[in-house]
């Protein structure tokens, strides 16, 4: 009896139809994949991507070279040198983040008393030459300037939970 | 239990305390820590911060532990709810006006207020009114001020009153308006004054050259030895990524207590001077060219091989390490060069054969303060060895009578019993005559005419006692044109009065230079030499063919040797710096490390051997001095010269010293030069070096050169 059933199923391509039914079912199911890079998934405002250094609205650098981010960094990715600036304040003369070392944990952002170092939503970046993995102070400030609106908005959204 | 011990109880444990001791001193011997700001063991008690309030049984109120003497049977509670409440309330008051900008404060991470606020502070301030703001003061190039941070513990004020004797800082106004101030705008100039940086429990007074350049937690603390005077103060260097960022004192009660001089604290800036020599250089057709180490060493060895032995000299800085001195002495023995010296500023060498084997202080530095009479001859002791100056001041404060014999008048911040100015020799002769002493044979005629003045008689009367006393000869006496006369007369006076005769030598390791035989008339461990080499003055006068300078700058370290005198000589300079003087005189320059980049040993004026290791990365291509000398020796084909570390050099020195024991008695001094009366009793031009110019590192320390002391260039 069992043999007979199997014999008929073989003739009718039963297992093929069974498989194709899954295909058919999924054909009408709503899609979860997107067309990257044309389409993008929604991102959390807390996304931890590329770093940026922020400025105050009047253009003054926020970073005060307290070196708390350097101390808290578990991957030792941050290197800071500091000195007295022309106006007598404490400022960094060097602020390097090694992106190869960084594990994007966000501790630097947590440690910063003045919200200067932040991790932005940017995650689409690449390096072409050796040494480009070092984010210098200028590069970090440039990112901060470019995405200032976004960062400010994200910070404001997160403010009530802090 | 002896009479002066009593039993008290601290947090339920019974503790023995001395009578008259304060509670805080008793609790510090136990594990119970009482928080404090104004209390400091080296300063008087002020009891004005109120942080150390503790509960004492049967006392109606909490009592300040620093100002309450212990009593028998006292029951003290340092951590009872009552005591903690009092301490927390004090903390809240202190934090009312203290700014909360720890992230930008240099004290952050090593701040006593920050630490104690972790334990006793509230999480959130209840104070919503305006905070007090105090204008910062400019008190000189060494100490930065952020007076808003001040909590009025007055440690700095008490330091000025009690330790330096100069009341530069004081408190003005009261209550809310109280502030620490210099009153009139002025810099604080005492040679120990920068110790207020360490004393300040908050960030109000801080290190100006170090300002904002590093954080306390990221630096590595290395033990080392200060390299600018014969005291050998113990210091810590704080190093960040191979660069010395600052220097702080290392407590050693036998030498520097908890203090160091400004010179030792800020000299590290010289390591990173722009004038550092970065690579070996050779002069070709009057042009300086860079050259590789290998070529430079080969060039030097070829020159050394062919040089006429009598026409070569080796001059080393008295700041060289023991190992460097030893290698220099072995090198010159190998080349049979007898013109070798480290006493670069001396003039009178006539009695050098009777030199003590090692010129020492004669007693331990800590013993100075127990002396009842101290006579300082030819020394600006505060500038020459600030720590010894401080010990003498301590002796004076505890009742010692201090006599000073010097040609010029220096300021002392304690009572000087007798100050004999003008001719040192005249005064010494007068003193000898007042003591009814016998003059040396040759001076009998002069001595007959001497009549002791009232002041000289007063000093003689002071010295006529059986107490412990000390007679110190300083740099001006050692570098005097009649140094041998001064030494002989001082020795006679010391013998008559039973005083201990001591020397304050130049540099940090003159004792090592003597011991290793970097002298024209002595060999290793004080052995006598068959051929006595030229002295510095003879070297300067005769045009020698070859001169090897080891960190000794013509004109600066060697005043008698000017650039014009060296035009015909081949000068090989091993130097950390390429200054104008080197550039015009030298033919080959090799970069060697400063005290922070080399390892070695210093012997201080109480014959204490202190070894240290290299703590900073070498600047440019510079190498430790001993390594360069070793390389030269190996290229010369010297046997048993393959030292792998400075420790192996030290081992060989110790081994050789064990085999040749050395008597250390002070020899009989004599007079060997003709004495011209007119000259002898007058005042003399002694080459007097300003405090911040005694060695090459100090001359390149930017901040020290900005002080008023550096711009003072008076020679008498």
Strand order in the sheet with B312-316: B287-290, B281-284, B588-591, B570-575, B546-550, B312-316, B339-341
- Total beta-carbon pairs less than 8 A apart between chain A and chain B: 29
Question: Across the interface, do A66 and B214 touch by the CB < 8 Å criterion?
Answer: no
**What are the pLDDT digits (tens) for B147-187?**
999 999 999 999 999 999 998 899 998 888 899 999 888 88
Q: How far is CA B385 from CA B255, B263, B264, B380, in A?
A: 12, 10, 11, 9
pLDDT band for position B709 (cuts 50, 70, 90): confident
C-alpha B623/C-alpha B292 separation (Å) is 13
In a 13 Å sphere around the CA of B48, the CA atoms on its Cβ side amount to 14
Q: Which residue has the tokens 């401080």?
A: B390
Q: What are phi and psi of B95, to 5 degrees?
A: -80, -10
Question: Across the interface, do A65 and B104 touch by the CB < 8 Å criterion?
Answer: yes
pLDDT band for position B715 (cuts 50, 70, 90): very low
Helices A137-146 and A148-159, interaxial angle, to 10°?
A: 80
Q: Which residue has the tokens 């120990």?
A: B192
Q: What are phi and psi of B236, to 5 degrees?
A: -110, 135
For B67, counting Cβ atoms within 10 Å of its Cβ (0-12 exposed, 13-18 middle, 19+ buried), the class is middle
Question: Across the interface, do B211 and A84 touch by the CB < 8 Å criterion?
Answer: yes
Beta strand spans in B29-99 (E) = 53-56, 63-64, 75-77
Note the maximum CA span of chain A: 96
- The helix/strand/coil state of B177 is helix
Q: Tell me if chain A has a CB within 8 Å of the CB of B135.
A: no
pLDDT score of B714: 45
**What are the pLDDT digits (tens) for A83-94?**
999 998 999 999
Question: Across the interface, do B218 and A64 touch by the CB < 8 Å criterion?
Answer: no
Q: Tell me if chain A has a CB within 8 Å of the CB of B662.
A: no
Which residue, among B586, B551, B590, has the nearest Cα to B566 in the 3D structure? B586
pLDDT band for position B711 (cuts 50, 70, 90): confident
**What are the pLDDT digits (tens) for B278-318?**
999 999 988 999 999 999 999 999 999 888 888 899 999 99
pLDDT score of B43: 94
pLDDT band for position A31 (cuts 50, 70, 90): confident
Q: Tell me if chain B has a CB within 8 Å of the CB of A89.
A: yes
Q: What percent of chain B has pLDDT over 90?
A: 66
Q: What are phi and psi of B218, to 5 degrees?
A: -95, -10
Least CB–CB distance from B104: residue in A66, A81, A83: A66
Residue A66 distance to chain B (closest CA, Å): 5
Question: Across the interface, do B211 and A68 touch by the CB < 8 Å criterion?
Answer: no
C-alpha B252/C-alpha B235 separation (Å) is 9
**Can you say whether the dihedral through the CA atoms of B29, B30, B31, B32 is positive or negative?**
negative
Distance of CA B241 to the CA centre of its chain: 27
Query: CB-based contacts of B522: which residues, under 8 Å, 6+ apart?
Result: B355, B357, B514, B528, B529
C-alpha A70/C-alpha A49 separation (Å) is 18
Query: CB-based contacts of B342: which residues, under 8 Å, 6+ apart?
Result: B315, B316, B317, B318, B320, B325, B507, B510, B513, B518, B519
**What are the pLDDT digits (tens) for B653-705?**
999 888 776 655 555 676 666 566 567 777 777 777 888 989 999 999 999 99
In a 13 Å sphere around the CA of B632, the CA atoms on its Cβ side amount to 29
CATH 3.40.50.740 residue ranges in chain B? 281-354+509-657
Which residue, among B660, B710, B667, has the nearest Cα to B689 in the 3D structure? B710
State ipTM: 0.83
Strand partners, A96: A79
- State the pTM of this model: 0.90
C-alpha B223/C-alpha B244 separation (Å) is 12
CATH 3.30.70.20 residue ranges in chain B? 128-272
Question: Across the interface, do A71 and B215 touch by the CB < 8 Å criterion?
Answer: yes
C-alpha B342/C-alpha B557 separation (Å) is 10
CATH 3.10.20.740 residue ranges in chain B? 5-96
Q: Tell me if chain B has a CB within 8 Å of the CB of A108.
A: no
Strand partners, B240: B243
Superfamily of domain B365-504: Dimethylsulfoxide Reductase, domain 2 (3.40.228.10)
Structure tokens at A103: 């594990």
* Chain A, window 2-61: residues with a beta carbon less than 8 angstroms from a chain B beta carbon: none
Is residue B478 within a helix (H) or strand (E), and if so which, with residue range? Answer: helix B475-478
* Chain A residues within 8 A of B149 when measuring between CB atoms: none
Q: How far is CA B634 from CA B49, B484, B689, in A?
A: 63, 40, 37
Residue A50 distance to chain B (closest CA, Å): 24
In a 13 Å sphere around the CA of B132, the CA atoms on its Cβ side amount to 20
Residue B215 distance to chain A (closest CA, Å): 7
Q: Are B507 and B230 in contact (CB under 8 A)?
A: yes
Least CB–CB distance from A90: residue in B104, B217, B218: B104
Q: How far is CA B389 from CA A88, B374, B521, B712, in A?
A: 36, 11, 32, 20
Question: Across the interface, do A66 and B108 touch by the CB < 8 Å criterion?
Answer: yes
- The helix/strand/coil state of B219 is coil
Question: Across the interface, do B214 and A82 touch by the CB < 8 Å criterion?
Answer: yes
Residue B193 distance to chain A (closest CA, Å): 23
The arrangement of secondary structure in B281-354+509-657, i.e. its CATH architecture, is: 3-Layer(aba) Sandwich (3.40)
Q: Are B406 and B377 in contact (CB under 8 A)?
A: yes
CATH 3.40.228.10 residue ranges in chain B? 365-504
Residue A79 distance to chain B (closest CA, Å): 11
- The helix/strand/coil state of B347 is coil
* Chain A residues within 8 A of B213 when measuring between CB atoms: 81-83
Summary mean pLDDT of chain B: 90
CB atoms within 10 A of CB B310: 16
* Chain A residues within 8 A of B208 when measuring between CB atoms: none
Least CB–CB distance from A66: residue in B103, B211, B213: B103
Question: Across the interface, do B104 and A89 touch by the CB < 8 Å criterion?
Answer: yes
C-alpha B379/C-alpha B408 separation (Å) is 9
Q: Are A73 and A63 in contact (CB under 8 A)?
A: no
pLDDT score of B528: 82
C-alpha B561/C-alpha B551 separation (Å) is 14
Structure tokens at B474: 């300083």
**Fold annotation for B5-96:** Ubiquitin-like (UB roll) (3.10.20)
Query: CB-based contacts of A62: which residues, under 8 Å, 6+ apart?
Result: A53, A54, A55, A56, A114, A115, A116
**What are the pLDDT digits (tens) for B197-244?**
999 999 999 999 999 999 999 999 999 999 999 999 999 999 999 999
* Chain A residues within 8 A of B211 when measuring between CB atoms: 84
C-alpha B245/C-alpha B215 separation (Å) is 10
Pairing of strands B5-10, B75-77: parallel
Q: How far is CA A26 from CA A18, A39, B282, in A?
A: 13, 21, 83
- B interface mutation test: which of A73, A81, A110, A112 has the most B CBs within 10 A? A81
Question: Across the interface, do B212 and A67 touch by the CB < 8 Å criterion?
Answer: no
Query: CB-based contacts of B142: which residues, under 8 Å, 6+ apart?
Result: B188, B193, B194, B207, B208, B209, B262, B265, B266, B703, B704, B707
C-alpha B390/C-alpha B403 separation (Å) is 15
Residue B135 distance to chain A (closest CA, Å): 14
* Chain A residues within 8 A of B103 when measuring between CB atoms: 64, 66, 68, 113-114
Question: Across the interface, do B108 and A82 touch by the CB < 8 Å criterion?
Answer: no
pLDDT band for position B447 (cuts 50, 70, 90): confident
Residue B103 distance to chain A (closest CA, Å): 5
Structure tokens at A134: 């070092």
* Chain B, window 69-108: residues with a beta carbon less than 8 angstroms from a chain A beta carbon: 103-104, 108
C-alpha B32/C-alpha B182 separation (Å) is 37
Q: Tell me if chain B has a CB within 8 Å of the CB of A83.
A: yes
Q: Are B242 and B219 in contact (CB under 8 A)?
A: no
C-alpha B170/C-alpha B160 separation (Å) is 9
Q: Tell me if chain A has a CB within 8 Å of the CB of B415.
A: no
Cα angle at A66 between B141 and B194, to 5 degrees?
25
Question: Across the interface, do A84 and B104 touch by the CB < 8 Å criterion?
Answer: no
In a 13 Å sphere around the CA of B698, the CA atoms on its Cβ side amount to 24
* Chain B residues within 8 A of A67 when measuring between CB atoms: 215, 218
Which residue, among B546, B568, B376, B587, has the nearest Cα to B463 in the 3D structure? B376
* Chain B residues within 8 A of A66 when measuring between CB atoms: 103-104, 108, 215
Q: What are phi and psi of B118, to 5 degrees?
A: -60, -35
pLDDT score of B320: 94
Helices A14-28 and A2-12, interaxial angle, to 10°?
A: 60
**What are the pLDDT digits (tens) for B346-365?**
988 888 888 888 888 989 99
* Per-residue 3-state assignment (H helix, E strand, C coil) for B401-445: EEEEECCCCCCCCCCCCEEECCCHHHHHHHHHHHCCCCCCHHHHH
The chain A residue lying nearest B104, using CA atoms, is A66
Q: Tell me if chain B has a CB within 8 Å of the CB of A113.
A: yes
Average pLDDT over residues B11-36: 92
Is residue B446 within a helix (H) or strand (E), and if so which, with residue range? Answer: helix B444-449
Q: Which residue has the tokens 């009482």?
A: B34
C-alpha B282/C-alpha B284 separation (Å) is 6
CATH number for domain B128-272, candidates 3.40.640.10, 2.60.120.10, 3.30.70.20, 3.40.50.11540: 3.30.70.20
pLDDT band for position B565 (cuts 50, 70, 90): confident
Q: Tell me if chain A has a CB within 8 Å of the CB of B212.
A: yes
Q: Are B42 and B117 in contact (CB under 8 A)?
A: no
pLDDT score of B668: 65
Q: Tell me if chain B has a CB within 8 Å of the CB of A99.
A: no
Question: Across the interface, do A71 and B104 touch by the CB < 8 Å criterion?
Answer: no
- B interface mutation test: which of A61, A67, A110 has the most B CBs within 10 A? A67
Least CB–CB distance from A64: residue in B103, B213, B217: B103
For chain A, what's the residue count? 162
Note the maximum CA span of chain B: 89
pLDDT score of B21: 92
Residue B591 distance to chain A (closest CA, Å): 27
* Chain B residues within 8 A of A71 when measuring between CB atoms: 215, 217-218
Question: Across the interface, do B211 and A89 touch by the CB < 8 Å criterion?
Answer: no
pLDDT score of B120: 92
Q: Are B523 and B333 in contact (CB under 8 A)?
A: yes
In a 13 Å sphere around the CA of B579, the CA atoms on its Cβ side amount to 20
Q: How far is CA B18 from CA B8, B26, B73, in A?
A: 10, 8, 13
Structure tokens at B345: 């500023």
Q: Tell me if chain A has a CB within 8 Å of the CB of B215.
A: yes
């Amino acid at each position: 009896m069992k043999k007979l059933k199997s014999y008929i199923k073989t003739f009718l391509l039963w297992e093929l139809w069974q498989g194709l039914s899954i295909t058919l079912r999924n054909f009408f199911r709503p899609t979860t994949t997107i067309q990257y890079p044309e389409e993008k998934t929604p991102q959390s405002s807390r996304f931890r991507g590329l770093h940026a250094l922020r400025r105050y609205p009047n253009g003054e650098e926020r970073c005060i070279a307290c070196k708390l981010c350097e101390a808290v960094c578990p991957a030792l990715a941050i290197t800071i040198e500091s000195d007295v600036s022309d106006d007598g304040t404490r400022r960094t003369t060097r602020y390097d983040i090694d992106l190869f070392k960084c594990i994007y944990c966000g501790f630097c952002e947590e440690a910063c008393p003045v919200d200067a170092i932040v991790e932005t939503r940017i995650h689409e970046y690449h390096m072409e030459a050796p040494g480009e993995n070092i984010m210098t102070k200028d590069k970090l400030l440039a990112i901060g300037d470019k995405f200032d609106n976004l960062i400010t908005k994200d910070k404001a959204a997160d403010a009530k939970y802090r | 239990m002896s009479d002066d011990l009593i039993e008290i109880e601290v947090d339920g444990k019974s503790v023995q305390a001395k009578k008259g001791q304060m509670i805080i001193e008793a609790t510090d011997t136990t594990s119970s820590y009482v928080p404090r700001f104004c209390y400091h063991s080296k300063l008087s008690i002020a009891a004005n911060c109120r942080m150390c309030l503790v509960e004492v049984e049967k006392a109606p109120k909490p009592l300040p532990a620093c100002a309450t003497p212990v009593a028998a049977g006292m029951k003290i509670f340092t951590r009872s709810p009552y005591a903690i409440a009092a301490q927390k309330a004090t903390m809240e008051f202190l934090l009312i006006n203290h700014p909360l900008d720890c992230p930008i404060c240099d004290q952050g991470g090593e701040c006593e207020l920050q630490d104690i606020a972790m334990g006793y502070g509230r999480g959130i301030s209840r104070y919503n009114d305006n905070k007090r703001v105090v204008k910062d003061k400019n008190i000189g190039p060494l100490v930065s001020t952020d007076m808003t941070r001040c909590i009025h513990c007055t440690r700095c004020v008490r330091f000025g009153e009690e330790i330096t004797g100069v009341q530069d800082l004081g408190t003005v106004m009261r209550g809310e308006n109280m502030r620490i101030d210099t009153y009139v705008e002025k810099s604080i100039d005492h040679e120990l004054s920068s110790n207020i940086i360490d004393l300040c429990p908050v960030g109000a007074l801080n290190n100006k050259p170090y300002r904002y350049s590093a954080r306390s937690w990221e630096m590595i603390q290395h033990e080392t030895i200060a390299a600018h005077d014969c005291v050998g103060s113990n210091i810590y260097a704080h190093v960040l990524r191979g660069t010395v960022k600052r220097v702080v004192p290392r407590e050693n009660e036998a030498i520097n207590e908890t203090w160091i001089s400004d010179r030792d604290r800020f000299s590290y800036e010289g390591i990173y001077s722009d004038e550092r020599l970065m690579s070996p250089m050779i002069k070709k057709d009057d042009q300086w060219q860079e050259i590789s180490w290998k070529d430079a060493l080969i060039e030097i060895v070829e020159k050394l091989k062919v040089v006429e032995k009598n026409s070569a000299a080796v001059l080393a800085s008295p700041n060289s390490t023991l190992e460097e001195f030893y290698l220099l002495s072995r090198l010159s023995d190998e080349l049979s060069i007898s013109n070798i010296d480290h006493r670069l500023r001396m003039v009178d060498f006539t009695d050098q054969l009777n030199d003590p084997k090692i010129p020492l202080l004669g007693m331990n530095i800590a013993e100075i303060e127990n002396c009842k009479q101290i006579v300082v001859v030819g020394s600006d002791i505060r500038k020459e060895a600030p720590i010894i100056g401080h010990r003498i001041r301590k002796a004076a404060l505890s009742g010692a009578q201090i006599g000073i014999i010097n040609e010029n008048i220096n300021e002392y911040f304690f009572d000087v019993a007798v100050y004999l100015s003008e001719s040192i020799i005249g005064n010494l002769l007068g003193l000898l005559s007042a003591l009814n002493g016998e003059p040396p044979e040759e001076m009998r005629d002069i001595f007959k005419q001497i009549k002791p003045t009232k002041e000289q008689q007063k000093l003689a009367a002071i010295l006529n006692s059986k107490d412990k006393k000390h007679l110190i000869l300083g740099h001006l006496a050692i570098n005097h044109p009649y140094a041998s006369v001064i030494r002989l007369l001082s020795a006679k006076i010391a013998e008559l009065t039973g005083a201990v005769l001591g020397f304050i030598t130049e540099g940090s390791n003159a004792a090592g230079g003597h011991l290793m035989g970097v002298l024209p008339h002595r060999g290793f461990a004080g052995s006598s030499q068959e051929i006595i080499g030229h002295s510095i003055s003879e070297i300067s006068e005769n045009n020698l063919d070859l001169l090897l300078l080891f960190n000794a700058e013509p004109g600066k370290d060697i005043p008698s040797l000017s650039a014009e005198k060296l035009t015909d000589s081949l000068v090989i300079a091993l130097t950390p710096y390429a200054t104008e003087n080197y550039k015009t005189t030298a033919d080959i320059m090799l970069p060697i490390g400063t005290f922070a980049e080399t390892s070695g040993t210093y012997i201080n004026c109480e014959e204490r051997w202190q070894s240290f290791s290299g703590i900073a990365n070498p600047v440019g291509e510079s190498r430790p001095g001993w390594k360069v000398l070793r390389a030269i020796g190996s290229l010369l084909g010297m046997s048993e010269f393959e030292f792998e570390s400075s420790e192996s050099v030290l081992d060989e020195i110790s081994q050789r010293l064990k085999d040749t024991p050395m008597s250390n008695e002070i020899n009989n001094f004599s007079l060997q030069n003709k004495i011209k009366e007119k000259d002898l009793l007058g005042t003399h031009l002694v080459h007097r070096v300003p405090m911040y110019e005694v060695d090459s590192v100090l001359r390149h320390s930017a901040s020290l050169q900005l002080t008023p002391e550096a711009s003072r260039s008076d020679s008498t």
